Amino acid sequence: MSAVTIPARQASGGVNVKVINRIVIYGLLALFALFYLMPLFVMLVTSFKTMDEIQNGNMLALPRAPTFDPWLKAWGETCVGLTCAGIKGYFWNSIKMVVPAVLISTMLGALNGYVLTKWRFRGATLVFGLMLFACFIPFQSVLLPMATILGSLGRFGVTLQNATGTSFGLGNPTVNLVFVHVVYGIGFTTLFFRNYYEAFPTELVKAAQVDGASFFQIFRRIMLPNSMPIFVVTVIYQFTNIWNDFLFASAYAGTGDAMPMTVALNNVVNTSTGVVEYNVNMAAAMIAALPTLLVYVLAGRYFVRGLMAGAVKG
């Protein structure tokens, strides 16, 4: 029935239906985009307004006299808890934590993926299954055991300090956070790389073996240079997750000088002295969000390509 009627309908009103469909689709998309972008817009305009304008004006209005002062104040002067030196120190804290955590977890994931696909051993599937299981463990259930482990590591660090003069970073909150994020991230990074390398031609590894390359030479010269898409995907994923993490950060480095950006931002907003400086808060939040935004913009095109990689055999 329908097979007969459809061509007839298309002949009469097909073009109109098409146009209306398009309008509905794009209209809805635009509406959703607007809805999604609205908070960002409000944050952005507010961060460039003076307090007067915020208190007396419209929330959605553009700033009449755009000013960079809230940004400067957020960066260098605003109070985080009791110290009023801006968020810049905490920004660097986050960088110092995120960069090693992302790189270490990504490299370990790549190495795991390489071994699990190209150097298969008895029980490799089981090991991979267990690592996959790590992806489903909720953060909250790790909190207390991890605190115990970090405590032990810290005490061991003190012992080391007394014996050798250096604690090798054990007990340092930044090192602790790097450790936690690496451990928690390995499941995901292994999953990414393992699936990518599963489709990676094994003959290349064999050819390199015949050429005399060692285990690590193959990894460094053959596997890694051909892993750009999945490398980027993993870095974006890990960077976003670790940078945005609040739970581990507040649990293991919630006070003191090593506090990461997310915790500091929370403290900025919660500091209750005098008026709430919305413009400074918004600027601080924007600063906190910038690095992830930057990573997406710089590497985003690889992100889509990477997610598709391996889907079609080239």
Partner 1 sequence: MAFLEIDGLRKRFGQVEILKGIDVELEKGGFLVLVGPSGCGKSTLLNTIAGLETITSGEIRVDGRTINDLHPSKRDIAMVFQSYALYPNMTVAGNISFGMEMRGVPAAERQKAIDKVAKVLQIGHLLQRKPSQLSGGQRQRVAMGRELVRDPKLFLFDEPLSNLDAKLRVDMRIEIKRLHATTGTTIVYVTHDQIEAMTLATKIAVMRDGEVQQFGTPAEIYNNPSNLFVADFMGSPAMNLIPATIGTSGNALSVVLQRETREPISLPMANAPAGLSAFQGKPIIFGVRPEALTDPEGAERNASHIATADCHIEVVEPAGSDTFAVTNLGGKGVVARLRADANIQPGTNTPLAFNLTKAVFFDPATETRIR
Position 225 contacts partner 1 (CB under 8 A): yes
Interface residue with partner 1 among 226, 250, 266, 292 (CB under 8 A) is 226
In one-letter notation, the amino acid at residue 215 is F
DSSP 3-state assignment of 26?
helix
Complex with partner 1: residue 66 or 123, whichever CB lies closer: 123
> Could you give the string, one character per residue 172-201, with x where binding to partner 1 holds by CB under 8 A and - elsewhere?
-----------------------------x
Instruction: Name the maximum alpha-carbon separation found in the chain.
Output: 89
DSSP 3-state assignment of 83?
strand
> In whole angstroms, how close is the CB of 236 to partner 1 at the nearest point?
21
Interface residue with partner 1 among 208, 269, 289, 299 (CB under 8 A) is 208
Position 206 contacts partner 1 (CB under 8 A): yes
281 near 207, Cβ under 8 Å?
Answer: no
Q: Look-up: residue for tokens 């790097």?
A: 178
Residue 123 CA from chain centroid, whole number: 31
Position 209 contacts partner 1 (CB under 8 A): yes
> In whole angstroms, how close is the CB of 224 to partner 1 at the nearest point?
9
Stretch that binds partner 1, among 123-131, 170-178, 222-230, 297-305 (CB under 8 A): 222-230
Position 210 contacts partner 1 (CB under 8 A): yes
277 near 67, Cβ under 8 Å?
Answer: no
Stretch that binds partner 1, among 62-70, 75-83, 215-223, 286-294 (CB under 8 A): 215-223
Alpha carbon distances (Å) from 66 to 39, 50, 83:
18, 8, 28
Complex with partner 1: residue 55 or 217, whichever CB lies closer: 217
Residue 188 CB coordination number (10 Å): 20
Position 212 contacts partner 1 (CB under 8 A): yes
Q: Of 286, 313, 269, 262, whose CA–CA distance to 80 is shortest?
A: 269
* CA pair distance 59, 193, nearest whole angstrom: 45
Contacts to partner 1 from residues 276-295, by CB under 8 A: none
Tokens representing residue 146 in the block: 């991890």
> In whole angstroms, how close is the CB of 207 to partner 1 at the nearest point?
4
* CA pair distance 49, 64, nearest whole angstrom: 8
Position 217 contacts partner 1 (CB under 8 A): yes
Q: Where are the beta strands (DSSP E) in the chain?
A: none
Complex with partner 1: residue 160 or 213, whichever CB lies closer: 213
> In whole angstroms, how close is the CB of 201 to partner 1 at the nearest point?
6
Position 203 contacts partner 1 (CB under 8 A): yes
> In whole angstroms, how close is the CB of 217 to partner 1 at the nearest point?
7
Stretch that binds partner 1, among 38-46, 157-165, 202-210, 269-277 (CB under 8 A): 202-210
The set of residues, in sequence order, having a beta carbon less than 8 Å from that of 140 and lying 6+ positions away, is: 247
* CA pair distance 197, 160, nearest whole angstrom: 40
Residue 83 forms beta bridges with which residues?
A: 80
Q: Applying CB under 8 A, which residues contact partner 1?
A: 201, 203-204, 206-213, 217, 221-222, 225-226
